[in-house]
Every structure is written in C-alpha cells, then in structure tokens.
Amino acid sequence: MSGGSNTSQPSSVLSRYRIVVLGDGGVGKSALTLQYVQHNFIDYHDPTIEDAYQQRTVIDLQPCLLDILDTAGQVEFTAMREQYMRCGEGFIICYSITDRHSFNEALEYRNLITKVRVTENVPVILVGNKIDLESQRVVTAEEGRALANTFVCPFFETSAAQRTHVDDVFHTLVREIRTHNAESGNSKSGSGDASGHSNQSSRWKRVWANIFKRVKRSTNKAI
C-alpha cells in the first residue's frame, strides 16, 4: 500500500476520489499509473486502450480509495471523454520531456477540461514524465513550470521507470481535491444551494461508476 507518512492512528473513514489521467499516447500515462498502483514498470502499453484501477492508500492519516481512469492517448473530443471529464474530481495531465508535441498537447487537454467544466477551477497536476531519459530531453523543466503557472497547478517531473515522484503526483492531487471540495462546500453552504450541489454530485458519482465498469469490461475483453 502506498501512502504518506503515518506516525499516529489514521481515521477509519474511507474517502473516495475520482482521478483521470490524460496525455498523448506514448508519454507514459499507463506506466505512471501502474507504477503507483502495482509498483511495477511496463515499457509498452497500447495507447488506444483505456483502463481503470483502484488503489487504497493513506494520505495525511486519512484512508482513501482512488478510482484512477487511465485514458487513451487521443485529444479528440468524444461523448465518453465528456462524461469522464464531467465526473472526474482531479486530473493528471502528462507529457514526455522527450516529446515536444506531447508538451504542446498538454494545453489542449487543459482547454478540454475547462470547456467541459465551464471553469478553470478544477484540481489539476501537470507532469513531465521520462526524466530517466535526460539525454533525450527536448522540454526543459523551466518550460514545464511556466506552463503549470498558467494552469495555476502543481508541477512534477517524474520517471515511471525509476518511480521518481510517482507517489507525489497522486497524493498531491488528492490534497488538491480535498482543498477544492472544502472550498466548494463552504461556497455552496453559504449560497443556500447545498442540497442541489449534493444531488448533482451523487448523479456524477453514478455516471462515473458506470464508466468505470464499462472500461474494466472492455479491458477484460481485450485481454
């Protein structure tokens, strides 16, 4: 089980978080996700296949269950993509430091999220993967940080192969989601719209559950 440092007894309440991993094919999205979930590095994954994973962990003494949707590597807008962009609570946008095109596409993924959610106030982490291939780098760390600044989000450079900053990415996103939910809850309760917000949240949870099952089913058939 992966998790943050734990020096005292954690809470027994299990919180669930809906995470979507986005990025071009070949940037290492699946490798990053599998390294986090299974502590295992895969060198190749079919970029047209979407997969779904669950991971129990403890972050800041709080037990949680992460529903992680590893998406296919196409930026095209589809009905399925719109659904999981509406349902996801947090997003990891991944590019490869060895691929300039994937870095440029990161902005397109961010724009898609904004288009679907009609707001820029959505928890996002920007990830530059494959820092183990430093000799092949074409995107500097400074460029990554600058793009993250425009997204107003945290930024990490990672190596799925060497498990560098892999846990940091997912745990930081959970913390961003918690902060966002706390702020949204305060805003909704203050506006008198708490019940409507709760009903909408429950609806998207049901839609997400259906997407998760559908993706798992499709993956099992492919295998």
- Tell me how crowded residue 31 is: count the other CB atoms within 10 A of its CB: 24
Three-state DSSP at 135 gives: helix
Three-state DSSP at 7 gives: coil
* Domain residue ranges of the chain, discontinuous segments joined by +: 15-222
Percent of the chain topping pLDDT 90: 60
Q: Which pLDDT belongs to residue 204? A: 61
Mean pLDDT within 94-120? 95
Helix (H) / strand (E) element for 94: namely: strand 90-96
Q: Which residue, 106, 105, 155, is CA-closest to 127?
A: 155
- For residues 76 and 150, what is the distance between their CA atoms, to the nearest angstrom? 22
User: 205-216 pLDDT, tens per residue?
Assistant: 777 777 676 666
Q: Which pLDDT belongs to residue 103? A: 98
pTM of the shown model: 0.83
| Structural domain 15-222, CATH architecture | 3-Layer(aba) Sandwich (3.40)
User: 173-221 pLDDT, tens per residue?
Assistant: 999 999 999 998 765 544 444 444 455 567 667 777 776 766 665 555 5
Q: Which pLDDT belongs to residue 96? A: 98
At residue 157, does pLDDT exceed 50? yes
pLDDT band at 72 (very low <50, low <70, confident <90, very high): confident
Residues 88, 70 contacting (CB under 8 angstroms): no
